[in-house]
Every structure is written in C-alpha cells, then in structure tokens.
C-alpha cells in the first residue's frame, strides 16, 4: 500500500474513533475507497464495533413488501421487471383494492412484522392516485403497523400530504453512482432522485434510500453510491442494499453476479459511513446462502424484507428466515419507532 494510502488509513481510524457519535456528511471518496481496501477481517471488525455502539447487535428489523400497482411502468430502469420497455412475462395489475391491502397487512402483522411497505410501478403518483394510497396508509396505521411507501418521484406538496397522512417512511433509492446511473436509467435523472429525497426530508418523513449492487458497476461506483447517501444533508434512516435480482427479459439479465465478499464489504462500509442508520439486506437473498447472510449481519446489516414475495420476485420463505434468525440467536425487533 502506498504511503499516501497508509496515511489516509491512519487519519481515518482516528476520525472513526473520535467521531463515533457525530454523524459525518462530508466523506471523501479516498476515505471510502480506503475502507473498501481494508483486509476483510479489519473491515468487518470496524463495522461490527460501530454497529454495537449504536444498535442491539442481535436484533433485526423486519418489513414486508406489497406491490399495490404492478407493471406497465413508463420508466426504463434496466434492472426492473415492471418497466413497460422490458419484455418480461409480468402480468400488469391496476391499483389494488383497499380490502386486499388490509388483508395482506393483517397477515404480516400476525407473523410479527412491524413495518408494511407498499410499492407502486409509477414514475410519480398523480394527485388522485395519492388519495387512494393515503387511504391505504391510514388503514395500515389503524392495524397498528408502521407504514412505508415507494411511489416514484414526489413534489413537495405530495410529500407534505403523505406526512399529514401519518406516513412513517418513504423509499426512494439512488440506485447507483451518479457516473454509472446513465447506463441503467435514462428516463429520469440522478438530480430528480435527489430532489425527491429532499422533498421527503423537508416534509419530515423518514427516508429509506439505498441502491442495487451487481449491475456491472465498479467498486468506485459502489463507493460513490455510498458517498452520495452518506453526504445527504441527513443520513437516510434506512439504507436498503439490494443485490440485483436478474429478471428474464430485462437488459441486465445474465450479467456476471457480484462477488459475495464485495457485497459484504459494501454492507460494512455502509455501516461505517452511516452508523446510526438501519442497513437493510434487501433484494437478492434467495441467491444467498445462510452463511453469506450471517456475514452481512456481522458486517452491520440489521434489517430484512420478510415474507415470500418482494414486489414481483421471490424472497426466502418465512419459515427459512425464522430458522436462520433462531440459529443465530437473533430476534425480530419488536418496538415501533413511531
């Protein structure tokens, strides 16, 4: 390692120690790449130490997803089963009826889930469709669960309406680095995404924002994605890290899978940069064995999607997750933060 790298590493160790309690939003790319370059055990140790300072290391927050409007999306996200521009075999569906949402939320609650996330394949909601989603949010809150929605881009007044409806979290991912972004999506800009996150933060709704790994990006892109997330004016409350679920008919189907250790390293770096945020081991768990998922928890992941469906693709069955959580001596987080 060069002298320069060594000196960055030493300074970084000091900063991590000194600033354990002060959340930094000024990470530079050399610092982040230096973390990625650490020996695996050193990186995991550092991430796990910070994790323990900020969270119960044996608790996992669980959320369940429901697709409330599926397919026929006008955007061209090249990973997505729901883009009208991708020739996938997905059946499109209109907005789900309220009673179906209530049934799914009750089932999730009965299996110990505390947060219910509803996703719609929209570029952005219309004001009228937002009325319907607001009814869903109210109904899920009445059941006694936290709510999260992901509906695409929002303007400030829409974010405000969601806040008034009592929404707890809004999910809007940056997906990848600003430099790689144009390879993946062309129908909306990186700045559009940052603007939506800003509107959500300004409305006082908790932000859930992360990205997807394994789309052919470089390590620098992964570092830049985390830099963008960590340097937002406030860290996202929740940071989903998705491993690309390859879907037949999408341009990214068949791409080389990301090396598992690189995925785990990215989780660890996310934990170090955003020590008080929930880091969610999100899509892609079906392809991961239990040992890999355990290493992700050790690296600081403390949240998962629970239930056999994500939005349109499979997730591990509940029983499998229950056995894994039990084997690891972990527990599902019980308390509602709101």
Give catalytic residue positions.
73, 77, 80, 117, 148, 208, 280
Residue 52 or 123 having the CB closest to ligand SF4: 123
Residue 183: alpha-carbon gap to chain centroid = 20
73 binds ligand SF4 (CB under 6 A): yes
Q: Which does 44 bind (CB under 5 to 8 A by kind): ligand SF4, ligand SAM, ligand DTB, none?
A: none
Closest approach, Cβ 274 to ligand DTB, in A, equals: 15
Which residues bind to ligand DTB, rule: CB under 6 A?
A: 65, 81, 119, 150, 171, 173, 210, 240, 242, 245, 282-283, 310-313
212 binds ligand SAM (CB under 6 A): yes
* Closest by CA position to 170, among listed 188, 156, 152: 152
* Closest by CA position to 327, among listed 305, 288, 286, 297: 297
User: Is residue 332 within a helix (H) or strand (E), and if so which, with residue range?
Assistant: strand 331-332
Closest approach, Cβ 53 to ligand SAM, in A, equals: 29
Say if strands 206-208 and 211-213 run parallel, antiparallel, or are unpaired: unpaired
How far is 66 from 63, CA to CA, in rounded Å?
10
Q: Which does 83 bind (CB under 5 to 8 A by kind): ligand DTB, ligand SAM, ligand SF4, none?
A: ligand SF4
Residue 55 or 305 having the CB closest to ligand SF4: 305
In the block, which residue shows the tokens 């390692």? Answer: 1
How far is 212 from 195, CA to CA, in rounded Å?
19
* Closest by CA position to 223, among listed 27, 46, 32: 32
Say if strands 59-69 and 303-305 run parallel, antiparallel, or are unpaired: parallel
Judged by the rule CB under 6 A, the positions of this chain that interact with ligand SAM are 79-80, 119, 121-122, 150, 152, 172-173, 175, 212, 242, 244-245, 247, 283, 311
Judged by the rule CB under 6 A, the positions of this chain that interact with ligand SF4 are 73, 75, 77, 80, 82-83, 121, 152
């Amino acid at each position: 390692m060069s002298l320069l790298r060594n000196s960055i590493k030493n300074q970084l160790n000091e900063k991590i120690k000194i600033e354990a309690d002060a959340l930094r939003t000024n990470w530079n790319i050399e610092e982040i790449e230096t973390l990625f370059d650490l020996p695996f055990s050193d990186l995991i140790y550092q991430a796990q130490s910070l994790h323990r300072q900020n969270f119960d290391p044996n608790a996992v927050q669980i959320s369940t997803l429901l697709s409330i409007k599926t397919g026929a999306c006008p955007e061209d996200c090249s990973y997505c089963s729901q883009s009208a521009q991708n020739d996938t075999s997905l059946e499109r569906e209109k907005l789900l009826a309220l009673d179906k949402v209530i049934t799914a939320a009750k089932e999730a609650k009965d299996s110990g889930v505390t947060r219910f996330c509803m996703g719609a394949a929209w570029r952005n909601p219309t004001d009228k469709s937002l009325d319907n989603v607001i009814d869903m949010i109210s109904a899920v809150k009445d059941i006694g669960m936290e709510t999260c929605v992901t509906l695409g881009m929002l303007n400030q007044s829409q974010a405000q309406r969601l806040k008034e409806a009592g929404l707890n979290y809004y999910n809007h991912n940056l997906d990848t680095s600003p430099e790689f972004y144009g390879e993946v999506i062309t129908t909306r800009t990186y700045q559009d995404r940052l603007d939506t996150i800003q509107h959500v933060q300004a409305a006082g709704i908790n932000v859930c924002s992360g990205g997807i790994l394994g789309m052919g990006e470089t390590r620098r892109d992964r570092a830049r994605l985390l830099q963008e997330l960590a340097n937002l004016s406030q860290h996202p409350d929740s940071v989903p890290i998705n491993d690309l679920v390859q879907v037949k008919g999408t341009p990214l189907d068949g791409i080389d899978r990301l090396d598992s250790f690189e995925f785990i390293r990215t989780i660890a770096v996310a934990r170090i940069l955003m020590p008080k945020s929930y880091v969610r081991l999100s899509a892609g768990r079906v392809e991961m064995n239990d040992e890999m998922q355990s290493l992700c928890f050790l690296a600081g992941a403390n949240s998962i999607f629970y239930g056999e469906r994500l939005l349109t693709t499979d997730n591990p069955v509940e029983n499998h997750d229950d056995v894994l959580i039990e084997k690891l001596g972990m527990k599902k987080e019980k308390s509602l933060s709101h």
